[in-house]
Amino acid sequence: MTRTFLGMPATAPKGVGQLRGAEPFPAAARRALADAQLRRNLGHATATIRAKSGAVIGEVPDWEQLRAAGSAIKADVLARLPELLEQLEAQVTAAGGVVHWAADANEANAIVVDLVRATGSDRVIKVKSMATQEIGLNEAFESAGIVPVETDLAELIVQLGDDRPSHILVPAIHRNRAEIREIFLRAMPGVDPALTDEPAVLAAAARRFLRQAFLSTPVAVSGANFAVAETGTLAVVESEGNGRMCLTLPETLITVMGVEKVVPAWRDLDVFLQLLPRASTGERMNPYTSMWTGVTPGDGPQEFHLVLLDNGRSAVLADEVGRQALHCIRCSACLNVCPVYERTGGHAYGSVYPGPIGAVLSPQLTGVADNASLPYASSLCGACYDACPVKINIPELLVHLRDQAPHPPGESAVMAAAAYAMDHPALFAAAQRATRLRRLTGRRGQALPPPLSGWTAGRDLPDPPTQTFRQWWASR
């Protein structure tokens, strides 16, 4: 960081990147829920991944111990993050890489754009990366006249469709193959007009398009799943091999990594490389694991830059309860099991981090006031906590963040009145009896006033009983 830094760590800046939605979750969700195709695509895709992941997790007898180990390693990382990052910097530098520190999205974008400009290229190929989506790097490239080409198949679909990712792992989960065919026909240069919607045919079309980019672009940008402090090694796991192309073919490689991705030792990968594929894609092992340490003369990129990104992470770290959100290894298991995500999809969350983890991570990165509706985008059913391979207690975090969220004044008054009555049994009993008055309003008087009217729009209220339990008890 180039500035002297005093006081509380800053949250992610406004006006850059994609951590804040244009509207609150309930409004965005309402629109998504009306999209029948979206509901069908998501229901099918999440059910498929859930079944696949559940089966391969079931094969591992020590899954719970692995989860505990993953959680413990991440807790250790967060407890001594500065020390590990400095160790990583020293090791990467010793291996011929260059380390840059970016306090926020603006700094990171400026660093990466300058590095690309210095190469003279007006095009970059990109490995699928959440960090670069978070900071809006593609938009920064476009303003600088640099063309970014997403090479992950799903990210390519999103990019060609002028769309936004809606899932951490499967960014085009909201699209089915018929829609993907249409996007390719419309936006992929040189595509065969006889393209069908067979998955193999669609993949082959993307392959032809991407090969051209791999062989002609001298700069690549990636994220990182892990960085090993003791050796200075970066790791990217993927399924397609397109990441491997980007990481090995170009002359220059620039990796943007959230600071929490560092792990202390090489052996820690043993735990995460077992947890991540089973929890995310439902594979026993991901097809491609690429690892690199600085620069190797005559082999692979001859220039390597590592950009260490904060962008609100230090602020998350400062919250003793909230910091466990930084354990996240971006597997997206919580999205796949979430009954809210399954119905609304990712765009409703407004941030590149959707679903349960997004509902606890985005508000912390931006400050809760800027994403105040997200901690409420959950029924607290707890499925996410059970699914999380690094045991992030997402329901606990949601409740913790709700306590920090600004509350509507009307609601605050009602909650205060309720709390007062509930601490005064006689008043409480009187309030209970008052619910019976609704009997007088008649059978069709079942609609409640706003803000409760949303509930009665789709459900009948029960008839209030003639007697509360405590009245019955007293009369026994």
Least separation, in Å, of the C-beta of 466 and another protein? 9
Distances in Å between the Cα of 111 and the Cα atoms of 101, 104, 106, 117 are 9, 11, 9, 10
Identify which of residues 239 and 404 has a Cβ nearer to another protein in the complex. Answer: 404
Provide DSSP, 77-114: HHHTHHHHHHHHHHHHHHTT-EEEEESSHHHHHHHHHH
Query: Rounded to an integer, what distance in angstroms lies between the CA atom of residue 473 and that of residue 463?
Result: 20
Should residue 403 be labelled a site residue for another protein when binding is judged by CB under 8 A?
A: yes
Identify which of residues 61 and 473 has a Cβ nearer to another protein in the complex. Answer: 473
Tell me, by CB under 8 A, how many residues bind another protein: 60
- Give the pairing type, strands 226-228 and 262-263: parallel
Listed ranges 78-86, 99-107, 277-285, 468-476: which one lies at the site for another protein (CB under 8 A)? 468-476
Should residue 422 be labelled a site residue for another protein when binding is judged by CB under 8 A?
A: yes
Identify which of residues 3 and 459 has a Cβ nearer to another protein in the complex. Answer: 459
Residue 82 carries which side chain, given as an amino acid letter?
A: P
Identify which of residues 6 and 419 has a Cβ nearer to another protein in the complex. Answer: 419
Should residue 380 be labelled a site residue for another protein when binding is judged by CB under 8 A?
A: yes
Least separation, in Å, of the C-beta of 321 and another protein? 9
Site of tokens 């941030």: 351
At 11, list the tokens. 């949250």
**How many helices (H) and strands (E) are present in the chain, helices listed first?**
22, 10
Listed ranges 3-11, 85-93, 120-128, 396-404: which one lies at the site for another protein (CB under 8 A)? 396-404
Residue from 30, 40, 44, 211 touching another protein (CB under 8 A): that is: 30
HEC readout, 428-454: HHHHHHHHHHHHHHCCCCCCCCCCCHH
Which is nearest to 393 in space by CA: 378, 372, 371?
378
At 231, list the tokens. 């050796």
Should residue 385 be labelled a site residue for another protein when binding is judged by CB under 8 A?
A: yes
Identify which of residues 189 and 449 has a Cβ nearer to another protein in the complex. Answer: 449
Should residue 344 be labelled a site residue for another protein when binding is judged by CB under 8 A?
A: yes
Should residue 64 be labelled a site residue for another protein when binding is judged by CB under 8 A?
A: no
Should residue 462 be labelled a site residue for another protein when binding is judged by CB under 8 A?
A: yes
Should residue 419 be labelled a site residue for another protein when binding is judged by CB under 8 A?
A: yes
Provide DSSP, 218-263: -EEEE--SEEETTTTEEEEEESSSHHHHHHHSSSEEEEEEEGGGEE
Should residue 292 be labelled a site residue for another protein when binding is judged by CB under 8 A?
A: no
Listed ranges 107-115, 307-315, 350-358, 371-379: which one lies at the site for another protein (CB under 8 A)? 371-379
Asked if 223 contacts 236 with a C-beta cutoff of 8 angstroms, the reply is: yes
**Edge-to-edge strand list for the sheet holding 123-126:** 98-102, 303-309, 252-258, 219-222, 123-126, 147-150
Is 308 strand, coil or helix?
strand
Residue from 69, 77, 378, 392 touching another protein (CB under 8 A): that is: 378
Identify which of residues 54 and 300 has a Cβ nearer to another protein in the complex. Answer: 54
What residues line the site for another protein (CB under 8 A)? 25-26, 29-30, 33, 39, 339-340, 343-344, 373, 375-383, 385-386, 399, 402-405, 407, 411-412, 415-416, 418-419, 421-423, 425, 428, 432, 435, 451-452, 454-455, 457-465, 467-470, 472-473
